[in-house]
Amino acid sequence: MTRYGLLAIVAALIAIAIGRAFGVVELFVIGAGFAGAFVAAVAFVGLRSPHVSGARRIRPSILVAGDVGHVDLELRHTGALRSTRFTLRERVRRAHVADHVAELSVEPMPARGTVTATYQLPTSQRGAIDLGPLEAVVTDPLGLLRRTRLVAGTDRITVAPRSHQLAMPELGSGPLGRHLLAQARRLGPGEFHGLREYVDGDEPRTIHWRASARSDGLLVKQHEVEGLRRMLIVLDTDPDSYADPMSFERAVTAAASLALSAVHADLVTRFVSGDVDLRGPDVAADALRVLAEVQPDGAPLPMFDHESGEGVGLLVSIAGSRDATGHRRARSVVDPTQATVMVTTDETTRSAIGVTARTEAEFLSNWNALVGRAGVRRPVGAGARAGGKR
């Protein structure tokens, strides 16, 4: 019952009571009119209310912060009579933001008919969005009664953080590639690749004497140095490490970009943040789900010593300041086959293979310069993203 419905009942009772007390027929008529209107409202909402069931579909299926998301509602009216016009109402809730109620007006639906409706989903920030329940609300023409029916239950949507596709380092290319090449040579000469002519500066031990005896000149053995095979990404969530919330958001973007790009490059990827330690074939999707809701809560980082695995490795530590816990632990790792890159979102790194990320543009520019790919800047496409509806 609405406020107007309550007023109608009160007015009917008062009019009938006064009419009886003073014998005023007109008041009896007025009271009967109010009562009749209320009875008509009961019959209207009882007979014309839609018997609707519904389902949601999110577009695009994978949501990233900054995208324009849409919720498509497919409604089916199972009643035997044509419905009246009604309103769909759905509550949209997310952490640290006031609740929003989406309302859509739906024209009368035929018996056993279907219809679709759409509303826009706010995805300006990463995080989880709770939808529902979805309800159909019917009000009689006079606004005396309101009836609400459940159409669909609740659902949770994950909005992944912004990310960029980064070029992975290649041995010998850029400062990081040259550093990795030195690391790779510590693993040995690598697989035999072929023979080439001797040039000044080649070590005598690389000469292939049997092949040289059958040739007009000296031939040396050429080996293929193994490239980057694995990456460990560490995100520090200590709030004392970051100057402000935007600094932490840049760190989340950097972590998401590195995780997706490493998996896209077929590197054995591991992601560590707080008490989370992710690996395996689904590490990119799992990392995005964690990064969608991660907050600077100060959860202690685990000890990450020598990263077991074959080939050359890369440890990327992400934090706000140079003296953050994550950076200190990264510097303590002793692994002759693994290089360490510090990413700082508040300060300059002061390292030849560090990345300063005081803005997103600075992060992309410095990373590309580090790997010898200046000018490359590509957003991650939908096909490379992971996350979305859970």
DSSP 180: H
Say if pTM beats, i.e. exceeds, 0.85. no
The contacts of residue 199 (CB under 8 Å, 6+ apart) are none
Q: What does the chain come to in residues?
A: 390
Tell me, what's the pLDDT at 234?
93
Q: How many CA atoms lie within 13 A of 321 on its CB side?
A: 10
pLDDT less than 50: residues of the chain: 192-193, 375-390
Tell me, what's the pLDDT at 220?
66
Mark 149-163 as b/e (b = at least 16 C-beta within 10 Å): eebbeebebbbbbbb
Quick: pLDDT tens for 106-116: 898 888 889 99
Question: Residue 204: is it exposed, middle or buried by C-beta count within 10 angstroms (0-12/13-18/19+)?
Answer: exposed
* Tokens linked to 168: 């992975």
Tell me, what's the pLDDT at 390?
36
Report the Cα–Cα distance between both ends of the chain, in Å, rounded.
37
Tell me, what's the pLDDT at 301?
75
User: Which among 97, 362, 381, 111 is positioned nearest to 261, based on CA atoms?
Assistant: 381
Backbone angles phi, psi at 215, to 5 degrees: -120, 170
Tell me, what's the pLDDT at 19?
83
Quick check: 107 and 85 in contact, CB under 8 A? yes
User: Which among 297, 294, 301 is positioned nearest to 315, based on CA atoms?
Assistant: 301
C-beta neighbour count of 359 within 10 angstroms:
12
- Using DSSP's 3-state secondary structure scheme, residue 252 falls into helix
DSSP 324: -
Quick: pLDDT tens for 161-219: 999 999 999 888 889 988 888 777 655 555 544 666 877 766 676 676 777 777 878 87
DSSP 261: H
* Tokens linked to 127: 């995080």
